[in-house]
Copies of this chain bind each other. A is one copy, B any other.
């Protein structure tokens, strides 16, 4: 990536006039075709102004790397989704945790730990109360007693919300359900699998490496797990769940969804959280041939199946419940949250590329080092 200097964005006062600090931000420079590469992004140095009335200046400490960001790295995001990331602009709408440096907003004071949605940069000016990511990304003061701050990007944030809402509200988990979770070693999947285990269900996990499968069996305590690369999915699934499944939590789409439709029992349910297998297609909104839909949907009729897509941000009202419940399970040691941590903001694009290749376990996070850049170029 190139590093360049730029102003803080159109429409704001010129950085020379009121910048209080030099920050770095990651900007996409080209929309990836197929695989994401770090060279599709660059690091830009910008002057960051101080907060105006109702705003806070935050030094970001952790920022999130999510597979679904791939969906927004294109000219036009699919209908209904968060907007595409414009080229050569900071990436708005990525969950981040940081420390308030300066506040001109009620309820926020220097030293507060907060979450917000102005990620992939080391400083951000954030307007209090302004809706972001359906409320999940709205500036929030965090209670970090007993939990590390980055947990608010994982189990206690949008990731936990997605897992919790998807399993309990979208898939409507019922007593006795046998649950299959794909990408079960991933950020959302590993939470879903553990939540279902805590509730006493038989849980099958799948992942893309033997090491991840070991993690699922040995650390997360799943009842069965398989490496989807080991054979035809329907066979692997039949071996893990000989009597079928009742709930499929889908992070993958494609052949995984089709195998689930085949294995689901009468009145079974699918919560489609994501489709990592589809993210690289140029136009997920467009027709046949672009991706392989499940060819066995007639079984949805014969077996009375329900297939629901959802987004965590559609269930923001559950966030306090998620923080309370998952926070308690975290502190009790009942939830294991492995993290894949990369150091340094400039590594965020490479971390996303690695995540999309499957080189991650648990939540992928960037530990931002903003300190070395704190200076005032305009002063």
A292 neighbours in B (Cβ, 8 Å): 288, 293, 295
A274 neighbours in B (Cβ, 8 Å): 301
Residues 276-291 of chain A: 1 if any B CB is under 8 Å from the residue's CB, otherwise 0? 0011010011111111
Residues 131-167 of chain A: 1 if any B CB is under 8 Å from the residue's CB, otherwise 0? 0000000000000000000000000000000000000
A290 neighbours in B (Cβ, 8 Å): 295-296
Q: Measured between alpha carbons, how far is A283 from B343 in the docked complex, in Å?
A: 51
Chain B's nearest CB lies how many Å from the CB of A356? 15
> Is A79 positioned at the interface, with any CB of B under 8 Å from its CB?
yes
**Interface contact A304-B299, CB-CB below 8 Å:** no
**Interface contact B80-A303, CB-CB below 8 Å:** yes
A310's nearest neighbour on chain B, judged by CB, is B304
Chain B's nearest CB lies how many Å from the CB of A41? 23
Task: Given A255-B288, A262-B285, A287-B234, check contact A301 B293 (CB 8 Å).
Answer: no
Q: Measured between alpha carbons, how far is A81 from B300 in the docked complex, in Å?
A: 10
Residue of A78, A79, A265, A291 contacting most chain B CB atoms (<10 Å): A79
Chain A's interface size range is 35 or more
**Interface contact B293-A286, CB-CB below 8 Å:** no
Chain B's nearest CB lies how many Å from the CB of A222? 24
**Interface contact B262-A303, CB-CB below 8 Å:** no
A284's nearest neighbour on chain B, judged by CB, is B298
A78 neighbours in B (Cβ, 8 Å): 298-299, 302-303
> Is A200 positioned at the interface, with any CB of B under 8 Å from its CB?
no
A281 neighbours in B (Cβ, 8 Å): 298
Task: Given A293-B258, A306-B308, A307-B306, check contact A272 B301 (CB 8 Å).
Answer: yes
**Interface contact A295-B291, CB-CB below 8 Å:** yes
**Interface contact B309-A253, CB-CB below 8 Å:** no
> Is A319 positioned at the interface, with any CB of B under 8 Å from its CB?
no
Q: Which listed residue (B279, B298, B314) contacts A278, Cβ 8 A?
A: B298
> Is A363 positioned at the interface, with any CB of B under 8 Å from its CB?
no
Q: Measured between alpha carbons, how far is A284 from B296 in the docked complex, in Å?
A: 6
Within 8 A of B (CB), among A61-114: 71, 77-81
Q: Measured between alpha carbons, how far is A258 from B301 in the docked complex, in Å?
A: 16
> Is A342 positioned at the interface, with any CB of B under 8 Å from its CB?
no
Q: Which listed residue (B301, B304, B306, B311) contacts A301, Cβ 8 A?
A: B311
A275 neighbours in B (Cβ, 8 Å): 297-298, 301
Q: Which listed residue (B79, B234, B302, B309) contacts A309, Cβ 8 A?
A: B302
**Interface contact A79-B295, CB-CB below 8 Å:** no
> Is A247 positioned at the interface, with any CB of B under 8 Å from its CB?
no
- A-B pairs, 10 with minimum CB distance: A293-B293, A300-B309, A80-B303, A284-B298, A81-B302, A301-B309, A293-B294, A80-B302, A307-B307, A78-B302
Task: Given contact pairs A288-B292, A293-B294, A307-B307, enumerate 10 new A-B contacts (beta carbons under 8 Å).
Answer: A80-B266, A81-B302, A253-B297, A275-B298, A284-B302, A287-B296, A293-B293, A300-B308, A300-B309, A304-B310
25 A-B pairs with CB atoms under 8 Å apart are A71-B298, A71-B302, A78-B298, A79-B302, A80-B302, A80-B303, A80-B304, A255-B288, A258-B287, A258-B288, A272-B301, A273-B301, A275-B298, A278-B297, A281-B298, A284-B296, A284-B299, A292-B295, A293-B294, A294-B297, A300-B307, A301-B310, A304-B311, A306-B307, A307-B308
